[in-house]
Chains A and B, each alone.
Chain A
Amino acid sequence: MDADGHDFCCSGCRAVYSLLQESGLSTYYELEKRPGTKVGPAQSDEWRSEVFDIPQVQDRLISFREGGMARVTFTVPQMHCSSCIWLLENLDRVEPAIMRSRVRFGEKSLSITYRDDHIGLRGVVELLRRIGYGPRIVNGEEDAGKRRIPRDLYVRLGVAAFAFGNIMLFSFPEYLGATDQDHTLRRGFQWLSLVFALPVVLYAAAGFFRSAWTGIRAGTTNIDQPIALGIIALFGRSLYEVVSGVGPGYFDSLAGLVFFLLVGHWYRSFVYGSLSFDRSLNDFLPLVVMRKRGQQEEAVRVDELDVGDQLIVRDQELVPVDGLLIDGPASIDNSFITGEPLPVIKVPGDQIAAGGRQRGGSITVQVVRTFKESQLKRLWEEHGSNESDRPVMGRLVDKVARRFIFFVLAVAGASGLFWAGRDPAMVLPVITAVLIVACPCALALSMPFTYGHVTRLLGKRGLFLREAEVVERMADVDTLVLDKTGTLTEREAHVLRFTGPPLSASEQSRIRSLVAQSAHPLSQAIYQGSNATLCTVSDFKEHAGSGLEGVVDGCRVRMGSHAFVDVDERHEGQVQVLMDGIHRGAFLIAKRPRPGMQAVLRALGRRYPLHLLTGDVSVDQEVAECFDRERTHVRCTPAMKASTVERMGSEGKRVMMVGDGLNDAGALHRSHVGVTLCESTVALTPASDAILDAGRSDLLPGALLLARKARSIVFTSLVLSLLYNVIGLSYAVTGALTPLIAAILMPLSSVTVVGFVTMAVRYAASRSLPDDRQDGR
């Protein structure tokens, strides 16, 4: 699409362009080469805008309100580039009733001050949605701010960097060979170094001691223990040297060590800080539901509902409780809980489980079980909660640390014994020198940087990992299990197949005209599946839960279930078609496979055995041919999916499960790596280690390859850092570790290891991942 010489991906983006053009905001298109987010159709799980007129909702969202002004803070996950920031901060030029808008990019939050009497909360939300930055609104605690890098860490970094720099300056006379003539100056510098090293040990390095102590108390080894030991040895030895006046100590190495380690910590929170995996089930419930009281409706919170209350659920809204349908018919989409792709028709008197989404007109539901007792909540609590009680796999770094710490203690002891026989005065210096030089700084840096880079590169392309260890587990994977509905197939789009003899043009237009009258999802699928001309329908009747009938073009057409059109159950297809009493055939309706999925499956299948788990009865040809017959499991309930994955796990397979939500939660939880495929940023992702953007499933083979490469990069860097340690140790055990050698060796090893892994990961990623599609960043 083209306007004013600009190229647009969709009409939505062009609409945004003209809106901005009118408001004089076209700088938006000058700041970045490809700004903006694609304006898609409204997402089905988005709340209707009328919700924002309800006072209770406003009270929850508005943080401050006075004299016709209000302030509200949203999370806007779509913002990703300079243009986004620029536009969102200039909202007042689009809408004069907005007084001020401020972005916090790191948290992806936007706070807006607006004139409440002019535009209202609903207006603000609608404006944001119109320009493609619809806010994410969660029911639980406001999550902006939780993801920030702790300010504390910056202060610690600053203190360590400050001490590192200054102590190094103070040490220059020592490096350059100061003589005894400058005795006062040397002593002065040594004492100053000591003073500056105190906050480094007591404040900046406190986290390492805490973590090491936690490990000791739990009886486990972790990487922070040799680090803490090294810091104590460094500080103790230096303190002794300075106080007794025998030498300058190693304060420069100490401060440098702590600084580099903190850089590693910062990098880790930098990579993982911007991700929020801890979404609770509450975030998915509506903020308020409409309870019927007499003839009136009132807005109440979900937890205020009691058994027996009646509530009104409108189109696209979630039924938050287990209930009984009073006023229907309802068309309930249970894909959220069961994975069943097509909506189920319910008639008054039927049970509706919590978590179903109404599609169609508004319905009235009577509460049978409150949300807390609902099946949905139970399903969630069984295996959906994100406080993963997955058995903690030994982190590779901690495993290495365990061997390392014993090795270091052994070397220290042996060299101590050796020197005890020759020169007892050397015992303590040699032992401390060993502990100092063996401090696994490079070891502690190589993993966070390698896996951090991998995570960042994958995240840029649309695969988000929960934590660094996921990369490690991905490298172990040897079996892939995929869910079908919503994972291999799209959630909304359908493919149609007609079983009978081909339909003529006039027959097609009859069918399309009839289904055009109905809002039922199957009707809509058939309607969208053809483009025949529409003609008038007379005598139209819709029988809820069974079918449609009407007279089109002088022909009586009946469409619907087997029972409705009275044909044999053996005919396949969900929608049977009867024309003037003659059975014409039936429509088979299935979800459309995601584009490119076959290629991805073939690529994955070359290396991994692929298993398919689906709740469906049958599998379409296109999907089925990618899987071995015996590895295709149909009619799986969520519990069966979970037990299948668990059985594979107990057979010793490392399973990666790819699923799409709560119905796969059990299986995701029991897998080695659980990946949730997400259409939007607001999807529910329980028990998953990784979230994959639904459009980027082509990343999977490359990501698995990169994970394996990353592991060998880590191994190489470990060898590299051990090499440095061996060099250092050879100085230490012979008693020749001077402060200068320590001051060169320790930063050098950290810098080379970090540099090596950064380059190696970049190279590996450029070889194994498809190109970054967003060139904005």
Chain B
Amino acid sequence: MWSFGALYLQLMNIIFLLIAASTVVALIFLASFIWAVRTGQFDDDRAPAIRILDGPGRSKEDMNERKDR
């Protein structure tokens, strides 16, 4: 039989657990952000965005070639 007080205590414990877990997750994201900065991923914000669009099928010629095949 659960008393109201006991339920409250149970809930509190879960909240502490959740806070601890979420803090750890947040710290992991902070660490990965710092890692990303240190490995130079923020050095250039323009070229990588273009690079990912580059590839076969981008230009009209490539499209035509594919149709021909």
A26 touches B60 (CB 8 A): yes
Question: Whole-angstrom distance between the alpha carbons of A27 and B62 in the complex?
Answer: 10
A158 touches B50 (CB 8 A): no
A24 touches B59 (CB 8 A): yes
A175 near B: Cβ within 8 Å?
Answer: no
Question: Whole-angstrom distance between the alpha carbons of A580 and B40 in the complex?
Answer: 74
Question: Whole-angstrom distance between the alpha carbons of A724 and B34 in the complex?
Answer: 35
CB nearest neighbor in B for A145? B43
> How many B residues touch A, CB cutoff 8 Å?
27
B47 touches A85 (CB 8 A): yes
B30 touches A151 (CB 8 A): no
Main secondary structure on chain B at its contact with chain A?
Answer: helix
The residue from B12, B26, B44, B54 contacting A104, defined by CB atoms under 8 A apart: B44
Report B-chain residues with C-beta under 8 Å of the C-beta of A25.
59
Task: Produce 1/0 per residue, A53-89, CB < 8 A to B.
Answer: 0000000000000000000000000000010011001
The residue from A82, A155, A184 contacting B34, defined by CB atoms under 8 A apart: A155
A166 touches B26 (CB 8 A): yes
A184-219 residues with Cβ-Cβ distance < 8 A to B are 184-185, 188, 192
CB nearest neighbor in B for A165? B26
Question: Whole-angstrom distance between the alpha carbons of A185 and B18 in the complex?
Answer: 12
A148 touches B43 (CB 8 A): yes
Report A-chain residues with C-beta under 8 Å of the C-beta of B15.
185
Known: A89-B54, A154-B37. A184 touches B43 (CB 8 A): no
A151 touches B46 (CB 8 A): no
Task: Produce 1/0 per residue, B19-53, CB < 8 A to A.
Answer: 10001001001100110011010111111001100
The residue from B16, B45, B60 contacting A30, defined by CB atoms under 8 A apart: B60
Q: How far is the CB of A177 from chain B (nearest CB, A)?
A: 18
Q: How far is the CB of B21 from chain A (nearest CB, A)?
A: 13
CB nearest neighbor in B for A148? B43
Question: Whole-angstrom distance between the alpha carbons of A166 and B40 in the complex?
Answer: 26
B37 touches A155 (CB 8 A): yes
Question: Whole-angstrom distance between the alpha carbons of A148 and B43 in the complex?
Answer: 7
A100-118 residues with Cβ-Cβ distance < 8 A to B are 102-107
B61 near A: Cβ within 8 Å?
Answer: yes
B42 touches A24 (CB 8 A): no
A192 touches B59 (CB 8 A): no
Report A-chain residues with C-beta under 8 Å of the C-beta of B66.
none
Q: How far is the CB of B58 from chain A (nearest CB, A)?
A: 5
CB nearest neighbor in A for B40? A151
Question: Whole-angstrom distance between the alpha carbons of A712 and B29 in the complex?
Answer: 43
Known: A86-B50, A90-B54. A27 touches B59 (CB 8 A): yes
The residue from A26, A89, A106, A158 contacting B37, defined by CB atoms under 8 A apart: A158
Question: Whole-angstrom distance between the alpha carbons of A106 and B42 in the complex?
Answer: 10
B40 touches A162 (CB 8 A): no
Report A-chain residues with C-beta under 8 Å of the C-beta of B33.
158, 162
A105 touches B34 (CB 8 A): no
Known: A24-B59, A27-B59, A159-B30. A188 touches B47 (CB 8 A): no
> How many A residues touch B, CB cutoff 8 Å?
30
User: By CB atoms of chain A within 10 A, which of B16, B44, B61 has the most?
Assistant: B44
Question: Whole-angstrom distance between the alpha carbons of A585 and B34 in the complex?
Answer: 76
Report B-chain residues with C-beta under 8 Å of the C-beta of A184.
12
Known: A90-B54, A158-B33, A188-B16. A106 touches B46 (CB 8 A): yes
Question: Whole-angstrom distance between the alpha carbons of A589 and B63 in the complex?
Answer: 57
Report B-chain residues with C-beta under 8 Å of the C-beta of A103.
44, 47
B61 touches A151 (CB 8 A): no
Known: A26-B61, A162-B30. A151 touches B50 (CB 8 A): no
Question: Whole-angstrom distance between the alpha carbons of A185 and B11 in the complex?
Answer: 11
The residue from B26, B47, B54 contacting A105, defined by CB atoms under 8 A apart: B47
Q: How far is the CB of B36 from chain A (nearest CB, A)?
A: 9
Known: A158-B33, A185-B12. A30 touches B26 (CB 8 A): no
A86 touches B43 (CB 8 A): no
Q: How far is the CB of B16 from chain A (nearest CB, A)?
A: 7
Report A-chain residues with C-beta under 8 Å of the C-beta of B59.
24-27, 30
A106 touches B43 (CB 8 A): yes
Q: How far is the CB of B3 from chain A (nearest CB, A)?
A: 16
The residue from A24, A27, A105 contacting B44, defined by CB atoms under 8 A apart: A105
A154 touches B42 (CB 8 A): yes
Question: Whole-angstrom distance between the alpha carbons of A31 and B59 in the complex?
Answer: 9
Question: Whole-angstrom distance between the alpha carbons of A86 and B47 in the complex?
Answer: 8
User: By CB atoms of chain A within 10 A, which of B23, B43, B58 has the most?
Assistant: B43
B34 touches A188 (CB 8 A): no
Q: How far is the CB of B11 from chain A (nearest CB, A)?
A: 10
Q: How far is the CB of A194 from chain B (nearest CB, A)?
A: 13
The residue from A89, A148, A151 contacting B47, defined by CB atoms under 8 A apart: A89
Task: Produce 1/0 per residue, A26-42, CB < 8 A to B.
Answer: 11001100000000000
Known: A85-B47, A90-B54. A151 touches B12 (CB 8 A): no
CB nearest neighbor in A for B29? A162
Known: A26-B60, A89-B51, A151-B37. A166 touches B44 (CB 8 A): no
Question: Whole-angstrom distance between the alpha carbons of A129 and B47 in the complex?
Answer: 21
Question: Whole-angstrom distance between the alpha carbons of A31 and B19 in the complex?
Answer: 47
Q: How far is the CB of B17 from chain A (nearest CB, A)?
A: 12
Known: A86-B50, A106-B45, A151-B37. A192 touches B23 (CB 8 A): yes
Q: How far is the CB of A176 from chain B (nearest CB, A)?
A: 15
Question: Whole-angstrom distance between the alpha carbons of A148 and B42 in the complex?
Answer: 10
Question: Whole-angstrom distance between the alpha carbons of A25 and B37 in the complex?
Answer: 33
B26 touches A86 (CB 8 A): no
Report B-chain residues with C-beta under 8 Å of the C-beta of A102.
47
The residue from B29, B30, B45, B50 contacting A82, defined by CB atoms under 8 A apart: B50
Report B-chain residues with C-beta under 8 Å of the C-beta of A105.
44-47
Identify 14 residue pairs between A and B in the complex whose beta-carbon atoms are under 8 Å apart, listed by A's number.
Answer: A26-B61, A30-B59, A85-B50, A89-B50, A89-B54, A105-B44, A148-B43, A154-B42, A158-B30, A158-B37, A159-B30, A162-B26, A162-B33, A185-B12
- A residues whose Cβ falls under 8 Å from a Cβ of B: 24-27, 30-31, 82, 85-86, 89-90, 102-107, 148-149, 151, 154-155, 158-159, 162, 166, 184-185, 188, 192
Closest 4 CB pairs of A and B: A27-B59, A105-B46, A154-B37, A103-B47
